[in-house]
Amino acid sequence: MNWSGGVAPLGMSWQKLMMWIFIVTDGLLFAGFLAGYGFARTGARSWPDQQEVFHLWFISLMTFVLISSSATMATSVAAARVADWKKVASMVLATAGGGVSFLAMQAYEWGSLIRDGVTLGSNPWNVPAFGNYFFLITGFHGTHVLIGTIVLATLAIRVRARKTTAAGVELAGLYWHFVDLVWVFVFTLFYLV
Amino acid sequence: MESHESQSYGALWKIWGVLLVLTAIMVFVDAMGLPRVLLLVILIAAMLTKAFFISSQFMDLKHEKLAVGISVAFSILFFGALLFALIAPDGVAVLHGGR
């Protein structure tokens, strides 16, 4: 391991290094949640069949929205590096739009499950841990999406006012891709497995 | 500031396509009614492949020093797996009244 220290540890700006440290700690938080869910799931005598509980096509659509927003974010970071600020502005706005769409879809999903009788403490399948972990994990992830959307909306304003740099866009991008990355794990381990 | 080769937009949208295809395969395989272990292997392999593409291409880890990628991936995946593989079995045994 080569620190290559001085003013740029590991060859990156301190802001970017701090973002990576944040991503690791936040990633460990989700790793803890998912391991806890794995424990509850392994320990439960039965678990609701996700094909029956969720509309998987709808969850897949949510995944499509988030992956697409990650692609628009990556495009805006690439555009910022070549100072194509018009493209940066439109792509950051598209990414924020993806965040809003994802949140709206999640609100709809939560609403339909709550109407079906799923709460933190009980659900029609008598597996309390199911509702517990569902709301905890998707709620924490959704909060990350909400924060990311606010960051992106702010970034869009700053890009229009030419008050940000390519490094600023990159930092917002790292956070947004992390949110997408967490969803890859949540989607697989909670909705499919 | 660190230097990067500028990435073409087309290359990024190719990664987007790969991620979508992998997601579609996962949903399709999930509905096929495969044996549990085989399903788990396919889903987890696809999940880790997606995570690899997002972190290396979108988050640009491929352009960072190897130590960064190793530190990030190892710490999260290792501790996640450690929590589940070493603590969960014991917890489940206690839960089911073994002791």
Number of separate helices (H) and strands (E) present in chain A: 6, 0
In sign, the C-alpha dihedral spanning B9, B15, B20, B24 is positive
The answer to whether residue B36 neighbours chain A at the CB level (below 8 Å) is no
Cα dist. B92→A38, B50, B55 in Å?
Answer: 10, 30, 33
In angstroms, the separation between the Cα of residue A51 and the nearest Cα of chain B is 8
Task: State the pLDDT confidence band at B84, using cuts at 50, 70 and 90.
Answer: confident
Candidates A131, A137, A132, A134; CA nearest to A118 is A131
Kindly state the average pLDDT of the residues B37-61. Answer: 96
The answer to whether residue B64 neighbours chain A at the CB level (below 8 Å) is yes
The ipTM assigned to this model is 0.92
Long-range contacts of A134-142 (CB under 8 A, 24+ apart): A134/A190, A135/A110, A136/A33, A137/A30, A137/A33, A137/A34, A137/A37, A137/A186, A137/A190, A138/A106, A138/A110, A138/A186, A138/A190, A140/A29, A140/A30, A140/A33, A141/A30, A141/A179, A141/A182, A141/A183, A141/A186, A142/A103, A142/A106
Report A:80-99 residues touching B (Cβ under 8 A).
Answer: 81-82
The answer to whether residue A161 neighbours chain B at the CB level (below 8 Å) is no
Task: State the pLDDT confidence band at B1, using cuts at 50, 70 and 90.
Answer: very low
CB atoms A16 and B23 under 8 Å: no
Candidates A98, A91, A70, A88; CA nearest to A166 is A88
Q: Which residues of B touch A71 (CB under 8 A)?
A: 12-13, 15-16, 19, 58
Q: How far apart are CA A132 and CA A135, in angstroms?
A: 6
Task: State the number of CA atoms in the 13 A half-sphere of B14 facing the CB.
Answer: 6
In angstroms, the separation between the Cα of residue A118 and the nearest Cα of chain B is 23
Q: What is the pTM of this model?
A: 0.92
In angstroms, the separation between the Cα of residue B14 and the nearest Cα of chain A is 9
Kindly state the average pLDDT of the residues A87-108. Answer: 97
Q: Which residues of A touch B92 (CB under 8 A)?
A: 39, 42-43
pLDDT tens figures, A109-163: 999 999 999 999 889 999 989 999 999 999 999 999 999 999 999 999 999 999 9
Tell the residue number behind the tokens 């889903």, with chain if given: B43
Beta strands in chain A (DSSP E): none
pLDDT recorded at residue B89? 81
Kindly state the average pLDDT of the residues A17-46. Answer: 92
Does domain A11-192 bear CATH number 3.30.465.10? no
Instruction: Name the closest residue on chain B to residue A44, using Cα atoms.
Output: B92
